[in-house]
Amino acid sequence: MRHQETADGVLRGVGGEANVQSVEHCATRLRFTLIDRSKADKTAVESVPGVITVVEGGGTFQVVIGNRVGDVYAQLGSLARRAPDRDGEKAAPAGLVPRVIDLVTSIFTPILWVLAGAGLLKALLAVGVKIDSSFGATTTYAILFAAGDAVFQFLPILLAVTAARRFKADQFTSLAIAGALVYSATIGVVAGPKGASLTLKALYDGGGDVTFLGMPVVVVAYLSSVIPIIFAVYAQSHLERLLKRVLPEALRNFCTPLITIAVLVPLTFLAIGPVTSHVGDWVSEGVNNLWELSPIAGGAVMGAFWQVFVIFGVHWSFVPIMFQELSTNGVSYLLGSLFPPVLAQAGAALAVFLRTRDPQVKAVAGPATVSAFLAGITEPAIYGVTLRYKTPFIYACIAGAIGGGIAGASKSAPTSFVLPGGLTLSAPVGVGNYALLLIGVAVAVGLAFVLTFVTFKDRPVAAPEGPSTVGEPVDTPTGAGVGGGGTATAVRTKSLELLSPVSGTAVALADVPDKVFASGAVGPGAGVVPAAGAVRSPVEATVVTVMPHAFGLRTDDGVEILVHVGIDTVKLNGRHFHPAVTEGSRVGAGDLLVEFDPEAVRTAGYDPVTVVVVTALAGYADVAVTSGDVNTADVLLTLQP
């Protein structure tokens, strides 16, 4: 699809390459750090096809794309790599809080998904042990547990890479420093009793003396630690810059890492590690004290405001606190309190999906609900559904506060990092009162759903430009766009039948191998896997737009239909397609639109599935879809009043 066009439009809107200090992405949004915010045109960016909205927070300019953000980011990445190096050209975001948020986001976002995936694996293993306790004693369990737990135990190694990118330090030297920290707890290097080898950590914990050049060393727990390696890499970046200035060029390549490792590893063991580790312990202790003082209040506050934090993109600033909790206590109460507010947004989005009669809102709300319920990704639900109507978002926050309070009281929390959602709801199993946590989740989802469902008032809302939450523009012909034209307010009393445009096998729209069509963002419809190459009009209509592979049709009463032959076939530039109509042509049901060669399209690497979607229902309420084998005389879609 046109990820490159989306990337180009966004880049122009933020002021061009010269105005971009850095760009990263999370689950649904691009995060720009700009040199001059005044050069960015928020309205222009929001008008780019494929962009849902723009938010600003934490010193970053955040462009919400949706589920295809990675594809658009890949195009931006290639553009950014052609930009000149601008080290030191742009100051950090103004203010302490924006700087901290910017720092946390840049370090933690790149490793978020591998941590979430590993955490989900550990959660599923915990469920397996609950079902069959003997499973925990098997080597199969041990191997899978190692796969899920390794990234958490050796978290400093992952953070070394992202911190090195952030501070512009040598990544391999950073990895060497991180490796030395975890080495102290994993490899025996000191002779112990009965010929055994002890790790430095084991020797220290057993009361032995650990010194460096006569100076006492406090060996803290570096496995799963967060803060020490970040500060160590920060110090590394400054030392490397100094060495590059003072060392002769002939010695620089090997002496810089030699001196850096020889200095930074002992310095981290002597000072950086113990000091920053204690700071982290104080943070964890503060969260624990809050939960001990009033777990209900703590959970309610997080439940009420978590989705507000998401809107402004500042929710990532809580991630280091969660990791510190996990490292110090083995559980994260903050993380446990987030299941209710996340799933409450899903409940509100589901209510909108069921109540609205607007097919375009349904097309957004359906996938957004699934994304929030299963994966805990709520941005599509927030920007595409609940915030558009305002009150559903408020109800979800209220429900999240109540459910969060109950979850806080349960003291049931995950033992590893996960993204709160339906798939990871098993992560807190065995910790605290898990049943009470489930009650909190049920209350949050149920209350958000009921309040929204009962009070919802369907009304026209201004949709964002371009395809909604899917975040991927489709080469839809002008005149056959979503919700375009027609007598949308007409009252229908009879059904309208649309014939299959090709002979073949009908497939559900959700099974079409294109996420924009499959999500319903363009409109309801179906696909047909073609058995022949003659594509015919499904209804009597006027041809309003012609592309070699796609045709926009409009009936006399305003219904608009898009017939799209193949996936990504716009890239063929008309090869293998022979249109039989022009713009303005009148066609009857069954008249030829285009002839094409399905096998040649397949050979070129494209799927020839032909998609028929109703882009403007013009007063019709629903679309029934035929399944199975069809020919061009069979009804494929029935528009119902």
pLDDT in tens, 334-388: 889 999 999 999 999 999 999 988 777 787 788 878 878 887 878 778 877 887 7
Structure tokens at 91: 């100051």
Band the pLDDT of 57: cuts 50, 70, 90: low
Domain edges within the chain: 3-94, 154-293, 295-455, 496-640
The single-letter code of the amino acid at 91 is: A
Q: At what angle do helices 139-153 and 155-167 cross, to 10 degrees?
A: 30
Q: Are 558 and 485 in contact (CB under 8 A)?
A: yes
Other C-beta atoms closer than 10 Å to the C-beta of 117 total 14
Instruction: Name the active-site residue from 26, 155, 220, 310.
Output: 26
Calpha distance 598→596 (Å, rounded): 6
Answer yes or no: 397 catalytic.
Answer: no
Scan for tokens 């445009």, then name that residue: 501
Calpha distance 365→371 (Å, rounded): 10
Lowest mean pLDDT among 6-15, 19-28, 226-235, 609-618: 19-28
Instruction: Please check the confidence at residue 602 and state whether its pLDDT lies above 90.
Output: no
pLDDT in tens, 172-198: 999 999 999 998 888 877 776 666 777
Calpha distance 640→622 (Å, rounded): 5
The predicted structure's pLDDT at residue 255: 92
CATH of 496-640, one of 2.60.260.20, 3.40.1390.20, 2.70.70.10, 1.10.15.40: 2.70.70.10
Looking at the chain, the whole-number percentage of residues with pLDDT higher than 90 is 25
The predicted structure's pLDDT at residue 195: 64
pLDDT in tens, 464-495: 333 333 333 344 443 443 333 333 445 567 88
Q: Quick check: pTM over 0.85?
A: no
Instruction: Please check the confidence at residue 290 and state whether its pLDDT lies above 60.
Output: yes
Angle ∠(589,592,595) on CA atoms, nearest 5? 145
Other C-beta atoms closer than 10 Å to the C-beta of 208 total 13
Alpha carbons within 13 angstroms on the beta-carbon side of residue 179 total 7
The predicted structure's pLDDT at residue 512: 85
Q: Which whole-number Å values give the CA distances from 311 to 53, 70, 205, 387, in the listed order?
A: 11, 19, 45, 10
Structure tokens at 571: 């890239």
Q: Which residues contact 194 (CB under 8 A, 6 or more apart)?
A: none
Calpha distance 97→293 (Å, rounded): 26
What is the rounded average pLDDT of the residues 548-571?
86
Q: Which residues contact 241 (CB under 8 A, 6 or more apart)?
A: none
Band the pLDDT of 521: cuts 50, 70, 90: low
Band the pLDDT of 548: cuts 50, 70, 90: confident
The reply to whether 3-94 and 496-640 are identical in fold is: no
Looking at the chain, the whole-number percentage of residues with pLDDT higher than 70 is 85
CATH of 3-94, one of 3.30.200.20, 3.30.1360.60, 3.40.50.620, 3.40.190.10: 3.30.1360.60
Higher pLDDT, 271 or 321: 271
The predicted structure's pLDDT at residue 523: 76
The SS3 call for residue 42 is: helix
